[in-house]
Amino acid sequence: MTAETLNFIDGRFVPSSSGRLFENRSPVDHALISRVHEAGRPEVDAAVAAARAALAGPWGRLSVQERAAMLYAVADEINRRFDDFLQAEVADTGKPIALASHLDIPRGAANFKIFADTVKSASAEFFEMTTPDGRTALNYALRRPKGVVAVICPWNLPLLLMTWKVGPALACGNAVVVKPSEETPSTATLLGEVMNAVGVPSGVYNVVHGFGPNSAGEFLTRHPDVNAITFTGETATGTKILEAAAGGIKATSMELGGKNPSIVFADCDLDNALEVTSRAVFANCGQVCLGTERVYVERPLFETFVQRLGEIARAMKPGRPDDAGSGIGPLISLGHRDKVLSYYARAKEEGATIVAGGGIPQMPAGLAEGAWIEPTVWTGLPETSAVVREEIFGPCCHVTPFDSEDEVVALANDTQYGLAASVHTRDLQRAHRVAARLDVGLCWVNAWFLRDLRTPFGGAKMSGIGREGGLHSLEFYTELRNVCVKL
């Protein structure tokens, strides 16, 4: 019998009242994983009502220390059920077990502890003033939860990015309604079992499944009793969510798309620059918001760099998640592969030099129906090409030579996006100088995806609104209330 994935509302697993279900299929071989119950307006209404009731119930009366202890228990229970979460995450995404077991699940659990600790140690403002009549007044700020938070999650790092939002939201005393991607519904649902197991009050954590327009996503973002919306995903979807949020003046946090540049100067550590760049381009089959799709290499190093990056791409072998020799997994779906392949075709039509890849790999029987694609490296396209300007979200990059610092900074900044960048050089002064000139939210020097979770995370321009991480997350998930006491 095919498994069914239910909504999780008010501490219970709930079927779709309309009877509408959709299929969740493996990107590895297109096998059916489960049939997912789509949430209609009744389920979304029930989830939001449960969240609001939880705020007025026991959850709303817990102290910071009590909430933190409960979030530690959530993290411990995720780790106790590590294999269950790993199996669910890998089934949905097709990513190699080696990646999911070292990144997705550990970070998914750790996010609860990190934000529990952050909230316990957070301070607020305090000011002493003299009043007009010569007396004294004290002003101090209190952090209070926003209320009901809608959490709209992407499919590329489902558990990690969902708990990156749910962790601080709950630590601050909010209740959440999560709408995971329709491509990856499993771990968000499994987390409901964890919440029940450790005694998180009913209604604090809810999950509704479905799509965007005329489905769970739209019903949730337009709901009048939702106080805040946090979203990670593509810019076009973020724009629609902002339009929906405007009607109720809802607080929003948007981590959106990117077309991230990597700048490689000729004086870099070449081996390190190649290792870092290849991870930035090909990790998770290129489905990372912080990934690199534009590489700029100083001309003396250009030919060598391109040759060696192409060799790395050609050496990456696709395979099942549990195959130790697998260097790359599939894209999330056949539909997404069609999108990525359309850019592969356009690059060829526009006369790109295909250094590596450019198509679909030959896969053995049993895998041929999966969403496999070749890691790809191009050169030779103009900066005006859609392949260079638009986010592809696949394992590919275009490499361009440059001759001066001013030229490459202008090239890197010539984009509507501004999420992340990386700079490779041994010149410390140049590293600081260039990093300060790039219009991005995050810039790495001689590294990529190296994160201290206390630091601000977010993008500039069309890459988002707001910052997450450490105290920056608390700014979004709480309201500051000033109290003035005249003495």
- Pairing of the two strands 417-418 and 353-356: unpaired
Q: Are residues 225 and 331 in the same domain?
A: no
Whether the CB-CB separation of 404 and 66 falls below 8 Å is answered with: no
Structural tokens at position 82: 């590590």
376 C-beta neighbours (distance < 10 Å), count: 27
Tokens 């030229």 correspond to 407
Supply the DSSP symbol for 485. Answer: E
Q: Are residues 420 and 291 in the same domain?
A: yes
Structural domains in the chain (count): 2
Give φ, ψ of 363 to 5 degrees: -115, 150
Whether the CB-CB separation of 377 and 357 falls below 8 Å is answered with: yes
Q: Are residues 204 and 269 in the same domain?
A: no
Q: Is residue 458 part of a domain?
A: no
Supply the DSSP symbol for 328. Answer: B
Structural tokens at position 378: 């191009």
pLDDT of residue 325: 87
Q: Nearest Cα to 280, choosing from 102, 443, 435, 437?
A: 443
Q: Is residue 282 part of a domain?
A: yes
Supply the DSSP symbol for 103. Answer: I
Q: Is residue 418 part of a domain?
A: yes
Q: Is residue 266 part of a domain?
A: yes
C-alpha to C-alpha distance for 57 and 148, rounded to whole angstroms: 13
C-alpha to C-alpha distance for 96 and 466, rounded to whole angstroms: 32
Q: Are residues 127 and 74 in the same domain?
A: yes
Tokens 């999650």 correspond to 153
Helix 186-198 vs helix 64-80: crossing angle, to nearest 10: 120
pLDDT of residue 1: 66
Rg (CA), the chain: 24
The CATH number of the domain holding residue 274 is: 3.40.309.10
C-alpha to C-alpha distance for 473 and 334, rounded to whole angstroms: 35
C-alpha to C-alpha distance for 236 and 224, rounded to whole angstroms: 23
The CATH number of the domain holding residue 100 is: 3.40.605.10
Quick: pLDDT tens for 344-389. 999 999 999 999 999 999 999 999 999 999 999 999 999 999 999 9
pLDDT of residue 454: 92
Note the maximum CA span of the chain: 86
Q: Are residues 297 and 148 in the same domain?
A: no
Q: Nearest Cα to 8, choosing from 178, 235, 256, 230?
A: 178
Q: Are residues 208 and 267 in the same domain?
A: no
Whether the CB-CB separation of 411 and 438 falls below 8 Å is answered with: no
Q: Are residues 390 and 470 in the same domain?
A: no
Q: How many CA atoms lie within 13 A of 273 on its CB side?
A: 25
483 C-beta neighbours (distance < 10 Å), count: 9
SS3 265: coil
Q: How many CA atoms lie within 13 A of 430 on its CB side?
A: 18
Structural tokens at position 368: 């041929």
pLDDT of residue 2: 78
Provide the annotated active-site residues: 255, 289
Q: Distance between the two ends of the chain, CA-based, in angstroms?
A: 70
Q: Are residues 222 and 330 in the same domain?
A: no
- State which residues form the domain around 360: 260-452
Q: Are residues 22 and 157 in the same domain?
A: yes
Mean pLDDT by 10 residues, the chain (487 residues): 92 96 98 98 98 97 97 98 98 97 97 97 92 96 96 98 98 98 98 98 98 96 98 95 93 97 98 98 98 98 98 97 93 98 98 98 96 98 98 98 98 98 98 98 98 95 95 95 96
Whether the CB-CB separation of 166 and 4 falls below 8 Å is answered with: no
Q: Is residue 105 part of a domain?
A: yes
Q: In Å, how far from its chain's centre is CA 173?
A: 22
Q: Nearest Cα to 277, choosing from 256, 301, 253?
A: 301
Whether the CB-CB separation of 99 and 288 falls below 8 Å is answered with: no
SS3 119: helix
C-alpha to C-alpha distance for 101 and 186, rounded to whole angstroms: 16
Q: Is residue 218 part of a domain?
A: yes
Tokens 């979304």 correspond to 44
Number of H helices, E strands in the chain: 17, 23
Structural tokens at position 372: 């496999």
C-alpha to C-alpha distance for 247 and 222, rounded to whole angstroms: 8
Q: Are residues 47 and 156 in the same domain?
A: yes
Q: Are residues 222 and 265 in the same domain?
A: no
Q: Is residue 457 part of a domain?
A: no
Alpha helices in 199-333 (DSSP H): 216-221, 235-246, 270-282, 299-315
Supply the DSSP symbol for 316. Answer: P
Q: Is residue 341 part of a domain?
A: yes
Q: Are residues 197 and 105 in the same domain?
A: yes
Q: Per-residue b/e over 338-375, b at no fewer than 16 CB within 10 Å?
A: eebbebbebbeebebebbbbbeebebeeebebbbbbbb
